[in-house]
Amino acid sequence: MALEPEQIVRLEEDRVVLLDQRRLPEVVVELECRSAAEVAAAIRDMAIRGAPAIGVAAAYGYALAARRGGDLEEAYRVLAESRPTAVNLTWALREMLDDPTPERARELHREEVERCRRMASHAAELLAPRTRALTHCNAGALATGGYGSAVGALRTAWERDLVEHVLVDETRPLLQGSRLTAWELEQIGVPHAVIADSAAASFMAAGEVDCVITGADRIAANGDTANKIGTYGLAVLAAHHRIPFCVVAPTSTVDLSTPTGSGIPIEERAAAEVSARSPARNPAFDVTPAALIGAIVTEDGVHRAPYTESLAGVVARA
Amino acid sequence: MALEPEQIVRLEEDRVVLLDQRRLPEVVVELECRSAAEVAAAIRDMAIRGAPAIGVAAAYGYALAARRGGDLEEAYRVLAESRPTAVNLTWALREMLDDPTPERARELHREEVERCRRMASHAAELLAPRTRALTHCNAGALATGGYGSAVGALRTAWERDLVEHVLVDETRPLLQGSRLTAWELEQIGVPHAVIADSAAASFMAAGEVDCVITGADRIAANGDTANKIGTYGLAVLAAHHRIPFCVVAPTSTVDLSTPTGSGIPIEERAAAEVSARSPARNPAFDVTPAALIGAIVTEDGVHRAPYTESLAGVVARA
């Protein structure tokens, strides 16, 4: 059974309740946030993660602050600054400004999941029968608040009998692939195998990968795409092996105000996530140049290069 | 203080004693092997690993069997079959056939370390001042029985004031980079930082990597090189970013009887090393085509393409 949107994040009377993703799937526990600041902390500490999902959580956090008569400017600030790379935070908060109600936040959540279903359908049309896909990180229901972007596409494609197998990058350092994507694929029933991130190249060389499909944290106007660290390397490797590389993300992830990837802030997280005892560098995201991306699929359809043109009309209609 | 050869593996009266590398550096403990079969188990279970180091351990195990009057054919077989990819096992055992004494095994160990010093000197000549290197897995003293191959080269280069910084791939699934290479660089005093394997590409794109330098588990006659999983992907990424990619390994790693990389057996280890709960694939090695390798450095000097010619005269003189 796939995860339902309200299992992932929801607004109750006086709190935002979310499935704590940090120790899934071993430990299935909910986290209760009783203020916008607590929602921001949950986002910062990655109890909830994934660009569309943290946008939804921020919307709920803002609605919670409004209902409690809190300082809405402060709520906006703390939620918007909880993580720097995904544009969905500020997008969702801006959407909430005129109508900071629970109903509006729930509508935004519902529409984000509906976008996933639509983009999944578009993306599935790109896949041939018996596709052996490779995906990175978790672009599943947990990352979007329901259904998923890249994993949603694989889910729809699986239901259309187009998917043979999915290789899942474990996705160090926090193992979102090994912990979350493998769990979601198991729930949906899709045959899969986890691999060390560094093994992707050899599976490509062995002809065991027909396409690489990932989500996105922010897409610049020219198509440059920030996503979980490791995505850029996969795109280079896919190009080297002539394997299609495809990004699936809702329009809430597209940031037309950022012309190119060089304008996307890249979060560097604590060294301790990588090593408990040695100096370490821990960029959480990287930027894949548009030239390496074969298609960007949103709920509007399949966008192709030149992305500056094909993405020009894209607006997230919440 | 760098590790001494006899700290890594040695033959005592009735046993082979080796530094157990599985839980280093947190747990520093020696493992005692009282038969060739126990040495083979230590190799198989990766208490000792690294192509030259397991060759040395096998030589000691064989000498131990000879001293105890054991079945030498069986000792040869169990040691040779303990792991499939590195050619050093059979090389070292063949070297022991005519003179299976402790003295011969110790000589072979001493010569393997001496090879490392010589190849390190050759490799250091390739590096410009202020080099920022990236390395994968552990090609250090622990991997070779002393001094190291790729890490030995960085050590010599550091002593010649040529190294500014080393990025260390953590090297999943067993973290030989994060646990062993970072520990060795700390002992030598070389500035370093551990990174997730998948982060290498973004550091290359940012211009923070001047060269990639790794060891090898087996080098075919045409220069195709088997090494820890992830090496091939790094070589593709290095080529994409026009960064020199260099292999440092003793001639005991060169297998002229295997014409190309397709003839090198690739060990697939237990899925549980990658994931405790999901299906997983776990190839322990990959093959980097010679075309992606800028130089192969042995104790004889720097070999360049075409490797079929430049490696043709290479013989490990033990």
- Do B200 and A236 count as a contact with CB atoms less than 8 A apart? no
User: Is A307 within 8 Å of A296 (Cβ atoms)?
Assistant: yes
In terms of domains, do A107 and A151 share one?
Answer: no
Min distance B112 CA to chain A CA atoms (Å) = 29
CA distance B8 to B232: 28
For residue A142 the two structure tokens come to 């947990």
CATH of the domain at B258: 3.40.50.10470
Judgement on whether residues B269 and B210 belong to the same structural domain of the protein: yes
CB-count burial class (<10 Å; 0-12, 13-18, 19+) for B293: buried
Catalytic residue among A169, A197, A210, A217: A217
Contacts of A11 (CB under 8 A, 6+ apart): A17, A60, A63, A64, A102, A105, A106
Entry field: residues in chain B? 318
Closest CB to B172 among A196, A201, A282: A196
What's the rounded Cα separation, in Å, for the pair B2 and B301? 24
Which has the closest alpha carbon to A180: A10, A42, A3?
A: A3
Residue of A164, A198, A236, A269 for testing the chain B interface, max B β-carbons within 10 Å: A198
Q: Are A145 and A106 in contact (CB under 8 A)?
A: no
Q: Which residue of A has its CA nearest to B193?
A: A280
Residues from chain A that touch B169, judged by Cβ atoms under 8 A, are: 198
B234: tokens are 């790094």
Residues A127 and A98 in one domain: no
- Helix then strand count (H, E) for chain B reads 13, 14
- Do residues B55 and B94 both lie within one domain? yes
Identify the closest residue of chain A to B276 by CA–CA distance.
A178
**H or E segment and range at residue A300:** none
**Domain shared by B165 and B86, yes or no:** no
In a domain, A102, yes or no: yes
Tell me the per-residue pLDDT of B98-128, one tens digit each, with 9 for 90 and over.
999 999 999 999 999 999 999 999 999 999 9
So what's the pLDDT on residue A16? 98
Backbone angle region of B266, left / alpha / beta, with phi > 0 → left and psi within -120 to 50 → alpha: beta
Complex-level ipTM:
0.97
- In this complex, which of B198, B205, B281 lies closest to A230 when CB atoms are compared? B198
Around Cβ B69, how many Cβ atoms within 10 Å?
7
* Chain B residues in contact with A191 (beta carbon < 8 A): 279
For residue A274, give the nearest of B194, B201, B280 by CB distance: B194
Quote the CA–CA distance of A26 and A48 in Å, as a whole number.
16
Question: What's the rounded Cα separation, in Å, for the pair A52 and A95?
Answer: 13
Domain stop point among B87, B114, B141: B114
Task: Please report where in the chains the tokens 């990058």 appear, as a residue.
Answer: A169
Spell out which residues of chain A touch residue B240, defining contact as CB-CB under 8 Å: 236, 240
Low-confidence ranges of chain A (pLDDT < 70): 316-318
Question: In a 3-state reduction of DSSP, which class is residue B129?
Answer: coil
Are B82 and B141 members of one domain?
no
Residues with Cβ within 8 Å of A114's Cβ and at least 6 positions away in sequence, in order, are: A299
pLDDT of residue B1: 80
Min Cα distance B137 → chain A (Å) is 11
d(CA B154, CA B124): 7
User: What is the spatial distance between Cα B230 and Cα A98, in angstroms, rounded to a whole number?
Assistant: 50
Based on the fold, state whether residues B23 and B134 are members of the same structural domain.
no
Answer whether residue B316 is part of any domain. Answer: no
Q: Which residues of B touch A230 (CB under 8 A)?
A: 196-199, 201
- Does residue B171 sit in the same domain as residue B280? yes
Residue B316 pLDDT: 61
Residues B82 and B223 reside in one and the same domain? no
Closest CA of chain B from A36, distance in Å: 32
Shortest distance between the Cα of A253 and any Cα of chain B, in A, equals 21
Contact A185, A176 (CB under 8 A): no
Smallest CA–CA distance from A279 into chain B, residue: B193
pLDDT, tens digit only, all 318 positions of chain B: 889 999 999 999 999 999 999 999 999 999 999 999 999 999 999 999 999 999 999 999 999 999 999 899 999 999 999 999 999 999 999 999 999 999 999 999 999 999 999 999 999 999 999 999 999 999 999 999 999 999 999 999 999 999 999 999 999 999 999 999 999 999 999 999 999 999 999 999 999 999 999 999 999 999 999 999 999 999 999 999 999 999 999 999 999 999 999 999 999 999 999 999 999 999 999 999 999 999 999 999 999 999 999 999 887 654
B148: β partners: B140
Residues A160 and A277 in one domain: yes
Q: Is residue A267 part of a domain?
A: yes
Domain membership of residue A315 (yes or no) is no
Which residue of chain A has the CA closest to B270? A195
| Catalytic positions of B | 217
Query: Is B317 inside a domain boundary?
Result: no
**A-contacting residues of B 225-284, CB under 8 Å?**
229-230, 232-234, 236-237, 240, 271, 274-275, 277-283
Q: Are residues B41 and B172 in the same domain?
A: no
Give the one of B170, B280, B286 whose C-beta lies nearest to A194's C-beta.
Answer: B280
Amino acid at A16: V
Q: Do A198 and B172 touch (CB under 8 A)?
A: yes
Number of domains making up chain A: 2
Residues B196 and B133: their CA atoms lie apart, in Å, by 15
- A22 to chain B nearest CA, in Å? 16
> Which residues of chain B lie closer than 8 angstroms to A25, CB-CB?
277
Q: Is A32 a member of any domain?
A: yes
Which residues in chain B have Cβ-Cβ distances shorter than 8 Å to A136?
A: 198
Of A170, A194, A232, the CB nearest to B201: A232
Q: Which of B114, B131, B156 is the last residue of a domain?
A: B114
Per the DSSP assignment, residues forming a β-bridge with B227 are B286
Contacts of A178 in chain B (CB under 8 A): 274-275, 278
CB contact under 8 A, B229 and A283: no
CB-based contact A275 B25, cutoff 8 Å = no
Name chain B contacts of A277, Cβ cutoff 8 Å. 25-26, 182
Q: Which residues pair with B163 in a beta bridge?
A: B131
User: How close does chain A come to B302, measured CA to CA in Å?
Assistant: 27
> Could you read off the pLDDT of A81-97 as tens digits, one per residue?
999 999 999 999 999 99
Asked if the structure places residue B299 within a domain, the reply is yes
Residue B223: half-sphere exposure toward Cβ, Cα within 13 Å:
21
Domain C-terminal end among A114, A138, A154: A114
Distance of residue A15 Cα from the nearest chain B Cα, in angstroms: 33
Residue A64 lies in a domain: yes
Which of A102, A121, A161, A142 is CA-nearest to residue A248? Answer: A121
Optimal mutation site among A202, A209, A212, A234, interface B, most CBs of chain B within 10 A: A202
Task: Find the domain containing A129 and state its range.
Answer: 120-310
CATH of the domain at B9: 1.20.120.420
Chain A residues in contact with B171 (beta carbon < 8 A): 198
B201: nearest CB among A193, A205, A233: A233
Q: Are A207 and A26 in contact (CB under 8 A)?
A: no
Say yes or no for a CB contact (<8 Å) between B193 and A278. Answer: yes
Do A204 and A285 sit in the same domain of this protein? yes
pLDDT at site A313: 82
